[in-house]
Amino acid sequence: MITLPQLHSDLLHGVENLRLHKLRTLLTMLGMIFGVAAVVSMLSIGAGAQQQMMAFIEQLGVRNLIVEAREAATYEDLQKVRKMSPGLTFRDWRIIKANTNGIVESAPRKRFTPTKLLPKPQRDMPVVYGVEPNYIRIAGLQVVAGRWFDEEENDHAAPVCVLGDAARGGLYGNQEALGRYVKVNEQWFHIIGVAAPQLTMQGSASALPTQDLNNLLYVPLYAALDRLEDTRSDLKDEIDGIYLQMLPSVDILSTAEVVRGILNNTHGGATDFSVVAPAELLAEQQRTQRIFEVVMVAIASISLLVGGIGIMNIMLAGILERTREIGVRRAVGARRVDIVRQFLIEATLISIVGGLMGIVFGFGMSRVIALLAGWSTIVTLSSILLAFLVSVTVGLTFGTYPAVKAARLDPAEAIRYE
């Protein structure tokens, strides 16, 4: 059995041998450094994307269901769809409420893209959301300045609005927006509130239409319908969104199927709508994230494999240089297991130091990626431990063969080796 003094002596001997060949040791470590750095940085990208997506889904509300009208690609397609379906309507909303159990809150939505705004936006044109007062509770919105509109203002189609954070910045910059007026097309709206910033994801990632949720003007639903409705086309959906908030005891996925069945019936089988369940998105995102992590680790592990091969090659070359040393140690009483242990300690030291340097390098790479690409990156403890353990395992695995080969050298032949 190995004693602590023997282990200490072997460690000192291994460190000294690596120090004698600094350049060779560093070159051997490079594969481990880049491999560990790749694992850490890639997993940090995945962890950042997962956290952002999870936060966005929580913002949508895991107890919510969202019905979205699906826009036709062309006017001809829209005409074909209207022969089967009237589009999303208030009647759909009422039927869903009457035939679906467990609804706590529900709200229709009408969305408009203004042709002009005054003051003129400094960035993209904000989109108008016509919603009912309870939308603030369903969507989990917070008002950081002023207030939200109430039922009376909605019933009387009052010309008031609440600005999203990006809309406020685009219209007024650093100036105070509360209490001012904004002209939407030909209608003036009094700004009574400013909403807190929200997370926004691309439609391809969230199964929802691409929309900057901060670049919005929220107005009472009936104000949007009475004051902004475009009456030039009778083919448009009466409303284009329905939000449903369900009881905690309700099975969201089953309820989503019920809603789909109701709309398939009222729309004559036309696929002019989609039912989005954030809870369903959450489960799908978790499955996708697991696959992403496995693929990323597999790709990054190739660098660790190359690093392991480098360790084996350098150690095999080192055996030739140290053949006489091995022979002398065997001649004075060193056992084969002592030789194996010495070479394994050196391989492990290379892996540990390379792994630690790779963690630092990977941490730096993740920060550079976040800075240059604008992505959210998070270096997790699990990614650090995984990369470090894999690097040590690779070092031990690829260091075993050279160590065993060194231990099998004939002492007499080794001493005479030049």
User: pLDDT by residue (tens digit) across 83-98?
Assistant: 888 888 999 999 999 9
Q: Is the pLDDT of residue 208 over 80?
A: no
Report the share of the chain in percent with pLDDT over 70.
Answer: 89
Return d(Cα 232, Cα 1) in angstroms, integer.
91
Return d(Cα 59, Cα 53) in angstroms, integer.
10
Q: Is the pLDDT of residue 150 over 90?
A: yes
Return d(Cα 183, Cα 108) in angstroms, integer.
24
Q: 392-418: string of b/e by CB count within 10 Å (b at 16+)?
A: bebbbebbbebbeebbebeeeebbeee
Q: Is the pLDDT of residue 232 over 60?
A: no
- Helix or strand run (H / E) with residue 140: none
Q: Report the SS3 class of residue 112.
A: strand
Q: Report the SS3 class of residue 104.
A: strand
Q: How confident is the model at residue 417 (pLDDT cuts 50, 70, 90)?
A: low
DSSP code of residue 71: P
Give the model's pLDDT for residue 2. Answer: 62
| Residue length of the chain | 418
- List pLDDT tens digits, range 275-324: 888 777 777 767 777 777 777 767 766 767 777 777 777 777 777 777 77
Would you give the end-to-end CA distance of the chain in angstroms? 33
DSSP code of residue 149: -
Q: Cα-flanking dihedrals φ and ψ of residue 287, to 5°?
A: -65, -45
Return d(Cα 216, Cα 156) in angstroms, integer.
22
Return d(Cα 141, Cα 109) in angstroms, integer.
15
Domain residue ranges in the chain: 4-56+284-416, 71-271
Query: Regarding beta strands 216-220 and 160-163, do their DSSP bridges make them parallel or antiparallel, or are they unpaired?
Result: antiparallel
